[in-house]
């Protein structure tokens, strides 16, 4: 029987993908934290990564840190070696830093000193080598931790994903009779959240230019970016300005020069066919919502495997995955339904479900804690789950084993969402959230808004609020809304405030 050397298994590798990183609203000194992860091979200690996208003290560099969770298990002082790296789309290391024999204390404020406030130049990551560092606007970082003399060959593998939620819109802006415009004249376009004023100005140098004035009347917007392009007579776009702004900028109103009229007038036939200027405007904004997806070790979410761990051979992997995933899901489902080698039971108030500790632990940090630490569930052979209905627990277990959701209805999606949140199954919670968004109706919107608020799900909450404002007459005239106003006073007040703001700023 083959044996594993200590160097093969005495470490942990945690890979973290951060999507929409260029739309991050964090300012200098502010960090985004990874989901916490437990290194089983390192005495069950808990860790997390911190990234300073806009720099810590020096805004020219990104900061990158490894921190130990201050309330985790394990010794008070723990000495480890670790490597922090940024990966390309194929998983190859672009840049790395290695620290040897660093002592992490258990009860310090951060659990560590900040090792790399100047990990890498921001310009290199976001500008000069952006294609390599940020494929599809995703930054992939990796941390390997070990406490032996030799870096482990086959460390425990963990994966997670963080998404900066961004909403994107675009519109075509036509300015007729462009040659007759006079200085100071405004051309206005407004959507529900942002107001755009295109102003024809003449500067001190008598150079005429188009200036875009942007105002936001939604206090929740933390980041805004705009890309404007001229559309010439051949239908081709030419970029004439990229601008990005943060919350404070938008409240004051911001100006951005798009282009100078001299450039247009020198080639009227190309840029001003029939004396019409056409601008294609694409903008993106974020209200500060971040979603997290934690993928455990051993059994990784079948749907997100190729998303979290990408490869240069993605086409071949896709073909192989199409064959392997259904087979694996069916095999795991058989283990659950046929109770093959089950070693624990989950008990509701009326039914008992057989399961496997290792599979539950791989899919849920809460189950992992139950079975790893000195808790009653570790040795009792059962887990009491009396707050879940039989159908909800059965659906949750099917998802744990097969990564699928069958015959979803609105009510059981809400119940499954609550269960997923309780057991920290973020991929399941995300799937339930997507189902609820896709199946919103005026009659159900209030219930989902209360659900999202109760579970601090800003992403779902924002989408439901947008839905209510879009269907204001149906929602505000319903019995559900009347009841909602009496049971959720603050939430109702927030909605009415946003509704009033929209009406005030209507042209």
DSSP-derived secondary structure for 487-502: H-HHHHHHHHHHHHHH
Q: What is the structure's pLDDT at 185?
A: 63
What burial class does residue 145 get, using C-beta atoms within 10 Å of its C-beta: 0-12 exposed, 13-18 middle, 19+ buried? buried
Residue 448 CA to its chain's centroid (Å): 20
* Whole-angstrom Cα Rg for the chain: 27
From CA 363, how far away is CA 300, in angstroms rounded? 7
Q: What is the structure's pLDDT at 308?
A: 32
Same domain, residue pair 331 and 466: no
Among residues 107, 142, 164, the one where a domain terminates is 164
Same domain, residue pair 171 and 159: no
Same domain, residue pair 105 and 200: no
Same domain, residue pair 262 and 143: no
Which residues are CB-neighbours of 503 under 8 A, at least 6 positions away? Answer: none
From CA 256, how far away is CA 211, in angstroms rounded? 6
SS3 413: helix
Flag whether 308 is in a domain: no
Domain residue limits at 98: 11-164
pLDDT averaged over 10-residue windows placed end to end, the chain, 507 residues: 48 91 86 86 87 86 88 80 92 91 70 68 91 93 87 79 85 81 69 72 62 73 84 84 74 62 73 85 82 52 33 36 58 80 89 90 86 68 89 93 88 94 89 92 94 89 90 92 92 86 63
Q: Tell me, what CATH number does 465's domain have?
A: 1.25.40.420
Q: What is the structure's pLDDT at 446?
A: 95
Which residues are CB-neighbours of 487 under 8 A, at least 6 positions away? Answer: 450
Same domain, residue pair 178 and 90: no
Which residues are CB-neighbours of 449 under 8 A, at least 6 positions away? Answer: 461, 464, 465, 468, 484, 488, 491, 495
From CA 85, how far away is CA 69, in angstroms rounded? 20
Same domain, residue pair 263 and 200: yes
Read off the tokens for 96. Answer: 């790395």
Flag whether 297 is in a domain: no
From CA 194, how far away is CA 211, in angstroms rounded? 16
Which residues are CB-neighbours of 331 under 8 A, at least 6 positions away? Answer: none
Same domain, residue pair 112 and 201: no
Same domain, residue pair 65 and 17: yes
Same domain, residue pair 31 and 159: yes
From CA 497, how far away is CA 87, in angstroms rounded? 44
Same domain, residue pair 79 and 39: yes
Flag whether 6 is in a domain: no
Q: What is the structure's pLDDT at 284?
A: 86
DSSP output for 265-297: HTTHHHH-GGG-EEEEEEEEEE-S-EEEEEE-S
Same domain, residue pair 115 and 25: yes
């Amino acid at each position: 029987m083959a044996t594993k050397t200590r160097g093969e298994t005495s470490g942990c590798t945690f890979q973290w993908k951060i999507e929409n990183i260029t739309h991050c609203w964090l300012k200098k000194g502010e960090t985004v934290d990874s989901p916490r992860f437990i290194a089983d091979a390192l005495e069950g200690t808990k860790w997390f990564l911190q990234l300073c996208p806009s720099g810590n003290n020096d805004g020219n560099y990104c900061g990158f840190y490894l921190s130990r969770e201050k309330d985790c298990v394990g010794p008070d002082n723990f000495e480890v070696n670790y490597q922090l790296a940024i990966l390309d789309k194929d998983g190859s290391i672009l840049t790395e830093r290695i620290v040897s024999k660093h002592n992490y204390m258990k009860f310090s404020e951060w659990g560590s000193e900040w090792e790399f406030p100047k990990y890498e130049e921001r310009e290199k990551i976001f500008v000069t080598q952006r294609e390599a560092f940020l494929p599809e606007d995703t930054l992939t970082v990796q941390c390997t931790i070990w406490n032996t003399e030799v870096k482990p060959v086959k460390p425990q593998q963990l994966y997670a994903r963080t998404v900066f939620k961004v909403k994107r819109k675009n519109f075509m802006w036509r300015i007729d009779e462009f040659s007759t415009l006079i200085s100071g004249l405004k051309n206005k376009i407004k959507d529900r959240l942002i107001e755009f004023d295109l102003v024809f100005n003449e500067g001190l140098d008598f150079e005429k230019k188009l200036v875009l004035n942007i105002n936001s009347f939604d206090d929740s917007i933390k980041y805004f970016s705009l890309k404007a392009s001229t559309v010439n007579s051949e239908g081709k776009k030419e970029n004439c300005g990229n601008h990005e702004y943060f919350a404070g900028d938008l409240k004051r109103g911001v100006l951005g020069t798009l282009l100078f009229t001299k450039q247009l007038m020198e080639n009227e036939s190309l840029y001003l066919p029939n004396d019409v200027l056409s601008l294609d405007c694409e903008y993106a904004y974020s209200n500060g919502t971040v979603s997290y997806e934690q993928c455990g070790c051993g059994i990784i979410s079948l749907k997100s495997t190729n998303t979290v761990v990408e490869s240069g051979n993605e086409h071949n992997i896709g073909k192989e995955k199409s064959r392997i995933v259904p087979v694996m899901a069916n095999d795991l489902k058989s283990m659950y339904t046929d109770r093959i080698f089950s070693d624990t039971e989950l008990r509701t108030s009326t039914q008992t479900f057989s399961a496997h500790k290792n599979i539950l632990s791989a899919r849920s940090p809460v189950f992992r804690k139950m079975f790893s630490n000195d808790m009653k569930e570790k040795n009792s052979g059962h887990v009491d789950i009396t707050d879940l209905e039989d159908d909800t627990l059965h659906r949750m277990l099917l998802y744990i084993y097969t990564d699928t959701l069958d015959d979803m209805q609105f009510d059981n999606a809400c119940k499954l969402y609550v269960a997923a949140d309780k057991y920290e199954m973020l991929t399941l919670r995300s799937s339930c959230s997507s189902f609820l968004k896709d199946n919103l109706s005026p009659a159900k919107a209030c219930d989902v808004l209360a659900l999202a608020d109760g579970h601090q799900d800003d992403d779902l909450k924002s989408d439901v609020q947008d839905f209510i404002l879009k269907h204001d007459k149906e929602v505000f005239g319903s019995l559900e809304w009347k009841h909602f106003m009496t049971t959720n006073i603050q939430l109702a007040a927030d909605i009415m405030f946003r509704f009033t703001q929209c009406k005030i700023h209507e042209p």
